[in-house]
Structure 1
């Protein structure tokens, strides 16, 4: 059995119940983890928010303002990426605390350890367990396929990130205006290819209420309709071009 990689669990200080449930779920498979104290967006002062959240970028690149919960979530993931860099880790798995385990994670660890090409980010779960059309698939073993979706999956419930991936993501998102999972989809901006290892052995536990929504509040967010349509068209063109490049590069590496 392969040695498990470092596992970081993002968890808000207010969410002791989530921490307990997450710990129990991992303990069932004798998996250890380290907690990363999540950033509670609602308590962030504006001067802290403005260090990385750029309202001008938001107006240019997204169709609505981000809530403080989304900003806190982004800061939490940047904190996890920075930890990977500070400790010079080959890679780590970053979990949000609304996951559940649906397969043997030691098999996931063993497959990740066996990869012979340079990767930066591999999704291990999907937002709300949704499906998305697959553009390319390569069998890694009898259990898992390496998958490139037509568009990278949303959600950051569970993903494996290398040192180089964390470094590239931090650099590309020093100033951000979109949610963290949306920025990760923009592979032409981050230069971080996004793969999935499927079937997913981690799922999002949909019984949990969203911490992001709780930190954002119930204020109705105004959406910029035409801005969204324009962005979707431009992003579709870029996504198709760069997803094909990811596939071409991957075929050469494999």
Structure 2
């Protein structure tokens, strides 16, 4: 008599990595109750203070001018530290073989529809009909096109609203809250000799690492205002606006060239691809 087939493997419970600087105990104190209320398993990932890295290390990580014209100014120490902090989260996902994990910066706030059930449904969709590598959970972009549905929002808030996966659109970027699948972590972690751009813009260059990057609709998180807990992990990116006129003009010229390169790569497929090859 044939033995019964084993039950199908159950997805791993969602794990959360919270990036938090050692000197920001107040932010940790604000975030901890929010995460505990969600009922998720979470851990703190110590944020890396870029300004504590020596000059040689910063220069090695972020050569300038950037290779291939991939950014228009040197990254600030804060941006480098921020990128390294997110990179550590991606590495932990890959090292532990997690199916999926939620990466949060410590200036997040939850919308009413942010429940464990909705988060888990989105995480499980990473290997569903429309698989993805990164799923952004903040700032759904204007004009984003719906590519698939995960079901309906559960819970009292927004009940019956479609919980959807979207692609593209226009709008600002941030790295406040996003899911990374195991496949995504495997693509994001290798060959990181240089950090060419801020981490939130890195995820826009999806063609370089063959990333599938979607956004959830509706948003589950938002970035709190500067009066509550403005992000300092990646601050200082607008310093170039205070440069002397000639230097500022040079930066703006490189910025224009960067955006032209980005448009050509994103719309016409002319960018560098498969940088892991």
Alignment-derived partner of residue 40 in structure 2: 31
1:123 correspondence with 2:105? no
Q: CA offsets per residue over residues 140-185 of structure 1, 9 Å max, x none? A: 2123110002358621111111222112112254312210111110
- Report the CA distance between 1:217 and its aligned residue: 10
- Report the CA distance between 1:213 and its aligned residue: 6.0
Taking structure 2 as the reference length, the TM-score comes to: 0.77
- Report the CA distance between 1:218 and its aligned residue: 6.8
- Report the CA distance between 1:135 and its aligned residue: 3.3
Cα separation, 2, equivalents of 1:16 and 1:7: 18
Cα separation, 1, equivalents of 2:237 and 2:145: 35
Whether the aligned pair in 2 keeps the contact of 1:58 and 1:178 (CA below 8 Å) is: no
Cα separation, 2, equivalents of 1:139 and 1:87: 29
Q: 1:197 to 1:97 in 2, by over 3 A?
A: same
Q: 1:217 to 1:228 in 2, by over 3 A?
A: closer
- Report the CA distance between 1:111 and its aligned residue: 3.4
Taking structure 1 as the reference length, the TM-score comes to: 0.83
Alignment-derived partner of residue 252 in structure 1: none
3-state SS, counterpart of residue 21 of structure 1: helix
Q: Which segments of 5 or more consecutive residues in structure 1 lack a partner in the other structure?
A: 243-254
Query: Which of 122, 135, 150 is residue 111 of structure 1 equivalent to?
Result: 122
- Report the CA distance between 1:241 and its aligned residue: 4.0
Deviant stretches of 4+, over 4 Å: 213-219
Alignment-derived partner of residue 21 in structure 1: 30
> Whose radius of gyration is greater, 1 or 2?
2
Q: 1:225 to 1:83 in 2, by over 3 A?
A: same
- Report the CA distance between 1:116 and its aligned residue: 1.3
3-state SS, counterpart of residue 178 of structure 2: strand
Bigger helix share: 1
